[in-house]
Chains A and B, each alone.
Chain A
Amino acid sequence: MKARYLIPLGLFAGLVVLFAVGLGLNPREVPSPLIDKPVPTFELSQVHAADKRLGSADLTRQPVALFNVWASWCVACRQEHPFLMELAQRGEVPIYGLNYKDERSDAIAWLTRHGDPYRASAHDYDGRVGIDWGVYGVPETFLVDGQGKIRYKHIGPLTPQVWREKIEPLVRQLQQGKA
């Protein structure tokens, strides 16, 4: 048998591999251009206290912090919420919230019902700050360091697995001042 008859078989095998990898990717996970870039500056009123402010300076005050974008109308936020509560209880890393395109009263009611894992949440009523952070699908979670840079972005509900494999190692590094 001539080797040239193996060419179509080889091409086919190549396609199978290509499709297996390509179709396994999640098209919703668009890589953010903001990684390792400075935190977009903002200052908004807090969800719980309209007269108090929360801004980018508060996020970068400590070596590492989580910045979680959430909304009361967001179903997937309910899904990740118990894990955020667990993280908040462990107290390893401070969590700040960006309440995205939500009514203040809805947001407060939601936090009262499900618990509040956030040190504070900024009230981004018109979503303008969300645009600066490249938010397109709530929930999204950013890891911010003390240098004022975004170190990681997770799109979709935060799961224990993502935390363990992706975020926790970075948090440890940053807390030990290695990165």
Chain B
Amino acid sequence: MRGLLTVVLLTLSVAAFAAIGVYEFETPEQEARFKRLSEELRCLVCQNQNLADSNAGLALDLRRQVHTMILAGKSDADIISFMTERYGDFVLYRPPLHAGTLLLWSGPFVLLLLGVVVLGRVVRQRTASAAADDAPLTTAEQQRLEQMLRQQQGEKE
């Protein structure tokens, strides 16, 4: 068990190192930016992986591109716009908010609101009917109840 764990941990750390270890930076801050950017950008070949995780040829090339641009002193915004000019918003894991993505961004909140409204209505209906149950019986209801009880007793005898 312990041996297995060691193997698993070793493989994990090697994989994590392999993705970033190839590149050298002048400052730790540059390296942090590189890490953040390659986690924010999507690899277009294996579409559900980011650049940091993917070993596809294109991801490698784009990582190299990000590295070169960081060393050339480009800002994060420069690098992001370089990527979106070529690959579109799809390259971003967090698509920017505009008319085309409005539904995407607001959708969950609209659904949440809808859920709250429906829940509120259901709760109100329940409490209303529960309150009706607790109300004292009307004279007509009282009479019917007594009649039913008498009938039941009559059946037993």
Contact = CB atoms under 8 A, between A and B. Distances in A.
A134 interface: yes
- A31, A101, A127, A133: which has the most chain B beta carbons within 10 Å? A127
Contact of A131 (B62, B88, B89, B90): B62
A30 B44 contact: yes
Contacts, number: 40
A33 B18 CA distance: 32
Contacts of A131: 61-62, 65, 86
Interface residues of B, number: 15
B61 A137 contact: no
Nearest to B82: A131
A177 to B, nearest CB: 29
B87 interface: yes
A58 to B, nearest CB: 21
B29 interface: no
A133 B47 CA distance: 18
A12 interface: no
Interface in A84-135: 101, 126-128, 130-134
A136 B41 CA distance: 14
A32 interface: yes
Given A126-B61, A136-B45, A30 B87 contact: yes
Nearest to B57: A101
Contacts of A137: 44-45
B86 A34 contact: yes
Contacts of B147: none
22 contacts: A28-B47, A30-B87, A30-B88, A31-B90, A32-B88, A33-B84, A33-B88, A34-B86, A101-B57, A127-B57, A127-B61, A128-B61, A131-B61, A131-B62, A132-B86, A133-B86, A134-B86, A134-B87, A134-B88, A136-B44, A136-B45, A137-B44
Interface of A: 27-28, 30-34, 101, 126-128, 130-134, 136-137
Interface of B: 44-45, 47, 57-58, 61-62, 65, 84-90
